């Protein structure tokens, strides 16, 4: 559904839901996941409905994922780094005591 | 819009005007609800969403009873809106907690609530002063600085945006006309009774008129001979990312919404008509919230805004009827979420009956008329 512009930038390996994925240098986590045909980034805390990126500029909070163990990160606002571990944000995060 | 006949024209579609208009539409009145443009000050779109009774009414027991009656009626309001438009305002009334961060604060809470109980007389006033152990039973997330608190069973909270949306949708479903972009400039009595307003959308006539225009009420009320000395009081709110449910009771400064966000608030400042959000205010709000619930420190703030309360000099509502312009009413208050159920079910009836009941006379605007010293 998304096709990359021809671009010689380097490949960056990262991990999504335990699977190896590839991004391009400079990708946001959201761009990298979309380019890998991932559409469901999270499920909502209220109804459990599946959601994915909408605004891609940090406003809508639809693209929340867990990054390296940290919940509710906005995938569109974080640049992919090599070895990053990304998971779907499933429902509400828990508050540590 | 051309000139039309209505039973009642309501000016201002914030929580106060919308609630009264909804009640009027339910009573079978032909209603026009007029509102200004999106760029106006609207307390109804920036508030904290508490239906709060605790501590209110010091020096005016009628206000304590009025607030409490509304928190009871809120169940009926939530049901009525759900039925009329399918959108529930998510009202919950688990009771509310004021948290004390020192023995002094705890003493103040105790004295205030004892005074309110005394003033309530036979109406009784249920509350519990919470010691350091008991407050942690109710709110296990309290930090080490929390000295205690106070609990009253009358307090609750709702989703204020769903309330606004639900009122607007429900009053339209019941046949009222909701007109935006209709800033009212002039109010004129009509020969033979009734009033006519001149708005940006044309002239609109009604048998009666309700001025519920928030900060716009002062100028409009003056046209019907009433002095309504409302002024803006700044409040600010911080919203965190959503989390699983962990805060079982709303508190004055922190509550968790039905959808999981934490709202942090409670600031009060006088800055005139400046509704911007200030960094220092955010810091103060966040610091107190963190001292109360340290676990908030792990959460991101995702939104911050300022809004202007519609405040009166003594903090109590104004409910009045014009003596120079028969059929014209002015309603305003600083707790329009809390009082929404009273406005829908009670205040609307005063308009239909064309009289404000005797027991509400203490809320007339002339209480602010100070005789000039010689
Ligand atoms: C930060 C903050 C927190 C709050 N927290 C709570 C809370 O927890 N619980 C609670 O009960 N209350 C709370 N409130 C108060 C509550 O929001 C207000 O009491 C309520 O929204 C007031 O509603 P209103 O309809 O009087 O005013 P507004 O919402 O200001 O509405 C007035 C409307 O009148 C319109 N208008 C003005 N002039 C004209 C004109 N000439 N012609 C046509 N239309 C006009 C405006 O466009 C506006 O839409 C809070 C307020 C603030 C600011």
Q: Give the residue extent of every domain in chain B.
A: 4-49+161-230+314-373, 96-153, 231-311
Q: Residue range A21-44: average pLDDT? A: 96
pLDDT at A46: 87
DSSP string, B146-215: --EEEEETT-EE--HHHHHHHHHHHHHHTT-EEE-S--EEEEEEPTTS-EEEEETTEEEEEEEEEE--GG
Q: Which atom of ligand 1 is nearest to the CA of B235?
A: 1
Own/partner long-range contacts of B107-116 (Cβ < 8 Å, ≥24 apart): B109/B55, B109/B149, B109/B150, B110/B150, B112/B55, B112/B58, B113/B54, B113/B55, B113/B150, B113/B152, B115/B58, B116/B55, B116/B57, B116/B58, B116/B61, B116/B64
Cβ burial B130-158 (10 Å sphere, 16+ → b, else e): beeeebbebbebbbeebbbbbbbbbbbbb
Tell me which residue has tokens 């009871």.
B72
pLDDT at A1: 78
List the helix and strand counts (H, then E) for chain B: 9, 17
Whole-angstrom CA distances from B144 to A3, B102, B285, B287, B358 are 54, 11, 18, 14, 49
Distance B142 CA to ligand 1 centre (A): 32
Token reading at B143: 């930090």
Find, among B15, B2, B119, the residue nearest to B57 by Cα: B119
pLDDT at B373: 56
Judging contacts by C-beta atoms under 8 Å, the chain B residues touching residue A62 are: none
Distance from CA of A61 to the nearest CA of B (A): 9
Query: Which of A92, A96, A97 shows the shortest C-beta gap to B242?
Result: A92
Token reading at B189: 């009595």
Distance B213 CA to ligand 1 centre (A): 8
Sequence-distant (≥ 6) Cβ neighbours of residue A8 within 8 angstroms: none
H or E element, residue B122? none
Query: Which of B245, B246, B302 shows the shortest C-beta gap to A61?
Result: B302
Fold for B4-49+161-230+314-373, please state it. FAD/NAD(P)-binding domain (3.50.50)
pLDDT at B115: 97
pLDDT at A97: 76
The rounded distance, in Å, linking the Cα atoms of B19 and B6 is 17
Look at residue B107 and give its three-state secondary structure.
helix
pLDDT at B371: 64
pLDDT at B37: 86
Residues 133-162 of B with CB under 8 A from A: 141
Nearest CA in chain A to B242: A92
Fold for A11-90, please state it. Ubiquitin-like (UB roll) (3.10.20)
pLDDT at B3: 47
Judging contacts by C-beta atoms under 8 Å, the chain B residues touching residue A96 are: 295, 298
Distance B305 CA to ligand 1 centre (A): 15
Q: Do the strands B328-332 and B202-211 form a parallel or antiparallel pair, or are they unpaired?
A: parallel
Find, among B209, B112, B97, the residue nearest to B154 by Cα: B97
Find, among B373, B237, B214, B233, the residue nearest to B314 by Cα: B233
Whole-angstrom CA distances from B248 to B35, B212, B259 are 37, 34, 13
Whole-angstrom CA distances from B67 to A49, B12, B55, B57, B132 are 38, 22, 10, 8, 28
Q: The CATH number of B231-311 is which of 3.30.9.10, 3.90.1150.10, 3.90.380.10, 1.20.1250.20?
A: 3.30.9.10
Q: Do the strands A85-90 and A42-43 form a parallel or antiparallel pair, or are they unpaired?
A: parallel
Please give the DSSP secondary-structure letter assigned to residue B345. Answer: I
pLDDT at B298: 94
Does the beta carbon of B232 lie inside 6 Å of ligand 1?
no
Cβ pair B241:A61 closer than 8 A: yes
H or E element, residue B320? strand B318-321
Q: Which atom of ligand 1 is nearest to the CA of B40?
A: 47
Distance from CA of A56 to the nearest CA of B (A): 15
Cβ pair A94:B243 closer than 8 A: yes
- ipTM for the predicted complex: 0.86
Give me the tens of pLDDT residue by residue for chain B, a chain 374 residues long.
444 589 999 999 999 999 999 999 999 999 999 999 888 889 999 999 999 999 999 999 999 999 999 999 999 999 999 999 999 999 999 999 999 999 999 999 999 999 999 999 988 899 999 999 999 999 999 999 999 999 999 999 999 999 999 999 999 999 999 999 999 999 999 998 999 999 999 999 999 999 999 999 999 999 999 999 999 999 999 999 999 999 999 999 999 999 999 999 989 999 999 999 999 999 999 999 999 999 999 999 999 999 999 999 999 999 999 999 999 999 999 999 999 999 999 999 999 999 999 999 999 999 998 765 55
Whole-angstrom CA distances from A36 to A39, B9, B100 are 9, 57, 52
Neighbouring C-beta atoms of residue A62, cutoff 10 Å = 18
pTM over 0.90: yes
Cβ pair B141:A91 closer than 8 A: no
């Amino acid at each position: 559904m998304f096709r990359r512009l021809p671009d010689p930038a380097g490949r960056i390996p990262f991990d999504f839901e335990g699977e190896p994925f590839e991004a391009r240098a400079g990708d946001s986590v959201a761009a990298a996941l979309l380019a890998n045909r991932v559409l469901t980034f999270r499920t909502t805390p209220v109804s459990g409905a599946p959601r994915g990126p909408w605004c891609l500029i940090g406003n809508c909070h639809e693209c929340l994922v867990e990054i390296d163990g940290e919940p509710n990160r906005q995938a569109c606002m974080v640049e992919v780094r090599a070895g990053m571990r990304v998971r779907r944000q499933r429902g509400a995060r828990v508050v540590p005591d | 819009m051309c000139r039309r006949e209505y039973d009642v024209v309501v000016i201002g579609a914030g929580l106060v005007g919308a609630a009264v208009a909804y009640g009027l539409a339910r009573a079978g009145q032909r209603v026009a609800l007029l509102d200004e443009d999106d760029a106006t000050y609207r307390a109804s779109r920036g508030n904290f969403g508490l239906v709060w009774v605790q501590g209110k009414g010091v020096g005016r027991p009628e206000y304590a009873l009025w607030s409490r009656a509304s928190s009871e009626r809120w169940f009926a309001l939530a049901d009525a809106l759900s039925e009329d438009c399918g959108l529930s305002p998510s009202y919950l009334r688990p009771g509310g907690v004021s948290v004390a961060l020192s023995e002094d604060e705890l003493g103040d809470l105790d004295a205030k609530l004892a005074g309110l109980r005394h003033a309530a007389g036979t109406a009784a006033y249920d509350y519990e002063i919470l010691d350091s152990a008991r407050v942690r039973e109710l709110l296990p997330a309290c930090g080490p600085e929390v000295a205690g608190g106070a609990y009253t069973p009358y307090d609750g909270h709702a989703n204020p945006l769903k309330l606004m949306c639900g009122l607007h949708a429900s009053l339209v479903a019941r046949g009222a006309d909701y007109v935006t972009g209709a800033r009212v400039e002039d109010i004129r009595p009509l020969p033979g009774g009734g009033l006519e307003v001149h708005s940006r959308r044309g002239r609109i006539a009604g048998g009666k008129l309700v001025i519920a225009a928030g900060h716009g009420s002062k100028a409009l009320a003056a046209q019907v001979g009433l002095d309504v000395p409302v002024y803006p009081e700044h409040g600010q709110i911080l919203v965190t990312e959503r989390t699983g449910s962990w805060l079982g009771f709303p508190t004055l400064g922190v509550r968790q919404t039905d959808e999981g966000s934490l709202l942090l608030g409670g600031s009060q400042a006088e800055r005139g008509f400046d509704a911007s959000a200030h960094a220092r205010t955010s810091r103060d709000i966040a610091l107190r919230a963190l001292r109360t619930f340290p676990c908030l420190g792990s959460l991101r703030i995702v939104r911050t805004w300022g809004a202007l309360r519609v405040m009166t000099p003594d903090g109590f509502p104004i409910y009045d009827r014009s003596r120079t312009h028969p059929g014209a009413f002015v309603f305003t208050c600083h707790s329009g979420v809390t009082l929404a159920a009273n406005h829908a079910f009670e205040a609307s009836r005063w308009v239909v009956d064309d009289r404000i009941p005797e027991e509400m006379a203490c809320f007339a605007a002339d209480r602010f008329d100070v005789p000039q010293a010689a």
